[in-house]
Amino acid sequence: MGYYDEDDNQFRRRKSQSKSGYFISGLIGSIIGALIVLLLTGNFTGGNGQNPITNQHNETSNLTRNVSLDVTTDVTKAVEKTADAVIGITNMQGSNFFNEETEAGTGSGVIYKKEKGKAFIVTNNHVVEGASTLEVTLTDGTKTKAKLLGSDVWTDLAVIQIDDKGVDTVAEFGNSDKLKSGEPVIAIGNPLGLNFSGSVTQGIISGLNRTIPIDVNSDGIEDWNAEVIQTDAAINPGNSGGALVNISGQVIGINSMKIAESSVEGIGLSIPINYAIPIIQDLEAHGKVKRAYMGTSLRSLNEVTSYQQDETLNLPAKVKEGVVIAGVEPGSPAEQAGLREYDVIVELDGKAIPDVPTLRRHLYAEKKIGDTMKVKFYRNGKAQTVEMTLAEADLQ
């Protein structure tokens, strides 16, 4: 038996209504919250306009989907423009018992011109040196015999020629005088042989107007100072003769040497194309570089003992640098100018000459056949000056 009261009944109705209101309000709040989360996370439509429930399997399959990209950058454009003009060169020499030719080395070359059914290629002298046969491999794998037109040991440049059949790409020369340190460059060549043909490495110009001492005849004495571009683009054996290319796909250097020391990394060297062009033109036209010459054999003063300097050359104590004339060719410009054995040259055209490489650089790079050159020298301790008219000759 209980008590029934109207107020109590109304209380229960209000309580029941209150519970229902709380439930409905909570349900609506939960739905709104879920919708906000789904919208924020992109899962309301599966992130791609699809239902999130039916898209669960699709999201899993997307993880294994192959994606094809067509990437085009300034670097890829530069490589595409020039790569087919960089070819492989095999140096063949006859050296075995049956006098059969064997591969003596490989390198790279750059096709720079097509004319009258022929294609012309610049490479390094050391790539073609001593070859009985030269074989060129184009980028499509075609092999063809090449003819050596000329080479120059001092600049390490050579020009060879092939028939232009199958040659579709010719490199464009840029302006190496306009290069800047930090400018991006690309090296293209065949490092470690033709199995790595068409290899591309990227770097920057690390330094300009570098000079590297070169021992031309491997006698341990520096004969020449090579002018080079320094880059950190990887240049390895086989890259020699290949192209150093700017971001426009223009050849601005011919890769030549790499300092190979365990303590040195990232120093590649390339011959500036502006320096190479007149050499290339001479080799193509004449088979050699037409240079002015003096007609003397030379030794740097720092290679002469102090006893010989005092007893034979009779030099003043203040003379510490110069070039000793070890011999004079009959009828040469030096003889006609009155120079003799044991004269010590200290200046050419007013410029100090401390050693043989500096003398050769002045003579070969700054003077032409027929030019007049002023020579200051010491003979028996006394300074004298003469003028000589330079003549043409082969390498000195």
pLDDT category of residue 108 using cuts at 50, 70 and 90? very high
Q: Are strands 101-115 and 184-189 parallel, antiparallel or unpaired?
A: unpaired
User: Can you tell me the distance from the alpha carbon of 138 to that of 28, in angstroms, rounded to the nearest whole number?
Assistant: 74
Would the pLDDT of 33 be above 90?
no
Could you say which architecture CATH assigns to the domain 178-275? Answer: Beta Barrel (2.40)
What is the structure's pLDDT at 348? 97
What is the structure's pLDDT at 259? 63
**Helix (H/G/I), strand (E/B), else coil: 337:** helix
What are 271's two structure tokens?
A: 């011959």
Q: What is the per-residue pLDDT across 326-372, written as a single tens digit (0 to 9) for each?
A: 999 999 999 999 999 999 999 999 999 999 989 998 998 889 999 99
Q: State the average pLDDT for the chain.
A: 83
Please state whether 344 falls in left (phi above 0), alpha (psi between -120 and 50) or beta. beta
- The residues near 276 (Cβ < 8 Å, ≥ 6 apart) are 122, 155, 157, 253, 254
Query: Any bridge partners for residue 108, and if so which?
Result: 88
Per CATH, the number for 291-393 is 2.30.42.10
Quick one: average pLDDT of 31-45? 54
Residues noted as catalytic: 126, 156, 240
Would the pLDDT of 37 be above 60?
no
Distances (CA, A) of 140 to 91, 111, 134: 19, 14, 18
User: Can you tell me the distance from the alpha carbon of 210 to that of 154, in angstroms, rounded to the nearest whole number?
Assistant: 16
What are 87's two structure tokens?
A: 């070819």
What is residue 174's DSSP assignment?
-
Would the pLDDT of 73 be above 80?
yes
- Range from 72-76, 95-99, 135-139 carrying the lowest mean pLDDT: 95-99
What is the structure's pLDDT at 17? 46
What is the structure's pLDDT at 218? 77
What is the structure's pLDDT at 125? 94
**Closest-CA residue to 163 (of 176, 188, 144):** 144
What are 190's two structure tokens?
A: 């065949």
What are 70's two structure tokens?
A: 């067509």
What is the structure's pLDDT at 250? 96
Q: Is 141 within 8 Å of 154 (Cβ atoms)?
A: no
What are 275's two structure tokens?
A: 């320096």
* 74-163, CATH topology level: Thrombin, subunit H (2.40.10)
Would the pLDDT of 301 be above 70?
yes
What is the structure's pLDDT at 63? 55
Q: What is the per-residue pLDDT across 209-238, written as a single tens digit (0 to 9) for each?
A: 888 888 887 777 777 788 899 999 988 878
Residue 104 amino acid letter = A
Residue 129 amino acid letter = E
Quick one: average pLDDT of 19-36? 56
User: Can you tell me the distance from the alpha carbon of 279 to that of 284, in angstroms, rounded to the nearest whole number?
Assistant: 9
- Range from 27-41, 158-172, 192-206 carrying the lowest mean pLDDT: 27-41
